[in-house]
Amino acid sequence: MSPSASPGEGIAPLVPAPLVPGPPVRSAAHGRRGVVGARSSAVAPRRRDLEVLATVIVGMAALLTGPLIWPAAGLLLAAMVVGTLQVLAGDDEDGSAGRGGLGDRGVPIESLILPAIAAIGCLGAIRLVPVGLALVPALAAVAILIDRAIAVETRLIAEERAPTDDDRSRTMIALLTVALVAFVGVAAAVPGGIAGLEPIGAPVAPLALGNLLVLALGDAFVAALLGYRAAALRATNLRDALWSALTYGVAIAIGAAAIRALGIPRLIGPALLMLLFYLWDVVHGAAPASRRDPRWIWQTAVLAGLGIVVAWWNLRLVG
């Protein structure tokens, strides 16, 4: 669901339309989406090809070492955005807008987020799987997750009405699942990002400040994009959706730094970040949209205070 706004509002799209031949990208300021008719016969193969391509790239990333994981994640993110755009738009085989598809209406920007984050989250998380036969079921799970993420967005686009409570619940389940995988992926990609891997009884070593900054920024990036997608479901305006996305990112960045400072072992940390994401979404789902509301000011002040405390805490641990 795209945030509603007056017809005169516009935004800079996350994916510049000139870079993607075929269907236009519809920004979040264009209001509610319309009916999507029957898909062309090329859509199903395109969706399958995208899922296979993403799964193969994730499988190859299991062999990457060091910082090479980050450019691979960037390339996969770009590929997923472009590929999901083409799949959701339902293009013809010749690249023109599919008959009965979205045509000139374009694809909402927020609809491209969930599959892309699912893919890059898997790219990081796959590093926790030992190279060998264990990769086979893991890659099958990757393909299923990406397929379900695309299916959620396809269902939302196909509806001519606003999302119902069931639609929002279904999408939130997908968002939380993808968030968990992505938080695990970020922690796995950062050296020392997952605490508690030391021998039993050994103290948990604090994370170097450079790696801690990468961990916090990576989690903030994931949370901000997924937060924007969640805010779009509530039909808020563009300004408040962007502000809400920013607060998701800041809250999760602070939470990631605090959880790592506590040395919470293994995958419990990413699970707690997923819980924090859900709790923050509950707060924003009930709060008024206006940033002048006292609750917005209170939230901003709390985030700033917590950020200072957590930064001081990690600096003290590192010494």
What's the length of the chain?
319
Structural domain contains residue 240: yes
For 101: left if phi > 0, alpha if psi spans -120 to 50, otherwise beta; the answer is beta
Structural domain contains residue 12: no
Structural domain contains residue 275: yes
Domain of 297 in residue numbering reads as 201-319
Q: Specify whether 117 is located in the same domain as 210.
A: no
User: What's the pLDDT score for residue 298?
Assistant: 65
The alpha carbons of the chain give a radius of gyration, in whole angstroms, of 20
Q: Specify whether 146 is located in the same domain as 62.
A: yes
Q: Specify whether 23 is located in the same domain as 151.
A: yes
Contact 253, 217 (CB under 8 A): yes
Q: Specify whether 45 is located in the same domain as 125.
A: yes
Q: Specify whether 44 is located in the same domain as 104.
A: yes
Q: Specify whether 258 is located in the same domain as 128.
A: no
In angstroms, the CA 17 to CA 33 distance is: 18
Last residue of one domain, picked from the residues 135, 161, 187: 161
| β strands within the chain, DSSP E | 25-26, 107-108
Structural domain contains residue 261: yes
For residue 55, give the nearest of 117, 182, 143 by alpha carbon.
143
Last residue of one domain, picked from the residues 161, 183, 218: 161
Structural domain contains residue 186: no
- CA 234-239-242 angle, 5° bins: 75
Last residue of one domain, picked from the residues 131, 161, 191: 161
User: What's the pLDDT score for residue 308?
Assistant: 73
User: What's the pLDDT score for residue 29?
Assistant: 38
Q: Specify whether 151 is located in the same domain as 214.
A: no
Structural domain contains residue 226: yes
pLDDT in tens, the chain (319 residues): 444 444 444 434 444 434 344 444 454 434 443 333 344 444 678 889 999 999 999 999 888 877 888 999 999 999 999 999 999 887 434 444 443 444 445 688 999 999 999 999 999 999 999 888 889 999 999 999 999 999 999 988 887 677 777 888 889 999 999 999 999 999 999 988 888 776 666 667 778 888 899 999 999 999 999 999 998 888 667 888 888 899 999 999 998 988 888 888 888 889 999 999 998 888 876 655 544 556 566 666 766 776 677 666 666 665 5
Structure confidence by residue, pLDDT tens digits, 14-59:
444 343 444 444 544 344 433 333 444 446 788 899 999 999 999 9
Q: Specify whether 148 is located in the same domain as 215.
A: no
Domain count, the chain: 2
Q: Specify whether 118 is located in the same domain as 27.
A: yes
Q: Specify whether 70 is located in the same domain as 134.
A: yes
Structural domain contains residue 266: yes
Average pLDDT, whole number, for the chain? 77
Structural domain contains residue 176: no
Sign of CA dihedral 77, 80, 86, 89: negative
Separation in Å, CA 114 to CA 4, 84, 132, 149, 259 = 20, 10, 29, 6, 25
Distance from the first to the final alpha carbon of the chain: 47
In terms of Cβ atoms closer than 10 Å to its own Cβ (0-12, 13-18, 19+), residue 64 is middle
Burial 9-44 (b: 16+ CB within 10 A, else e): bebebbbeeeebebbbbbbbbbbebeebeebbebbe
Q: Specify whether 46 is located in the same domain as 157.
A: yes
Q: Specify whether 76 is located in the same domain as 141.
A: yes
